[in-house]
Amino acid sequence: MEQIRLIIFDLDGTLVDSSRDITNALNYALKPYGFKTMAVEETVKLVGEGITRLMEKVIGTEKIGIKDDVLKRFLEFYSDHLTEYTRPYTGVTETLNKLSTYGKAVISNKREGLSRRLLEELGMASYFDHILGGDSTPEKKPSPLPVLTVLKRERLTADKALMVGDSNLDIEAGKNAGVITAGVGYGYRPLEALKGADFTIRECLSELLDILKKIQTEN
């Protein structure tokens, strides 16, 4: 294994806590249709596969006919309140500053336009060489295609990259692409759901620095 040169991050639940803004948009979108108000704790269990899939999970098959209207209302509200409460997790910006010698990318299942604007509004976009969303490639996580796309852009082999995320979708995407994976335990999923990860980050992204040192030492 060679030295890591590229670090790929998931966005929601890994770099930023966007759960309240997503929940608020979801409740706004569902309100006219008689759905019960959702709590943040409920929302975080459903996010990760993209907004359209989120709608399908919440609405269910019985009311699937309203999906397009609900989706439109969600996107309108969410776009206007994208970073009202969304903030980077503790230690994220400090860690990104310390990773200046590495290439960095974001791969989210959130749409690219929203992912990019969220990072721009939080002053974080400049950290990343590539920002991909769920609509940037024909397939999204857990497909390896978004990861392989970034590797191709950087002209790197899989052994030079590390994938960091809080969801099994991130770990599967990384594994399927052949890159090293690190599961985040402070995000939207418990660490138990990330058992396949090569490394675990329990409480703060700064733990990634020690993981990188460990990988370097083992080489």
* Segments making up each domain of the chain, as ranges: 6-17+87-218, 19-80
The strand pairing partners of 162, in sequence order, are: 7, 180
- Residue 30 CA to residue 74 CA, distance in Å, equals 8
Average pLDDT over residues 124-149: 97
Class of domain 19-80 (CATH, top level)? mainly alpha
Q: What is the pLDDT of residue 67?
A: 84
Domain 6-17+87-218 and domain 19-80, same fold? Reply is no
Quick check: 130 pLDDT over 90?
yes
Q: Which CATH number fits domain 6-17+87-218: 3.40.50.1000, 3.40.50.1220, 3.10.640.10, 1.10.10.10?
A: 3.40.50.1000
- Residue 189 CA to residue 194 CA, distance in Å, equals 8
Q: Which of 10, 21, 166, 170 is catalytic?
A: 10
The pTM of this model reads: 0.94
Q: How confident is the model at residue 1 (pLDDT cuts 50, 70, 90)?
A: very low
Q: What is the pLDDT of residue 57?
A: 85
Strands (E) located in the chain:
6-9, 16-17, 87-88, 103-107, 130-132, 161-165, 180-184, 199-201
Q: pLDDT tens digits for 29-76?
A: 999 998 899 999 999 888 878 788 888 888 876 677 888 899 999 999
Please name the helix (run of DSSP H) or strand (run of DSSP E) that holds residue 141, with its range, or none.
Answer: none
Question: Is residue 10 among the annotated active site residues?
Answer: yes
Q: What is the pLDDT of residue 219?
A: 64
Q: pLDDT tens digits for 174-215?
A: 999 999 999 999 999 888 889 899 999 999 999 999 999 999
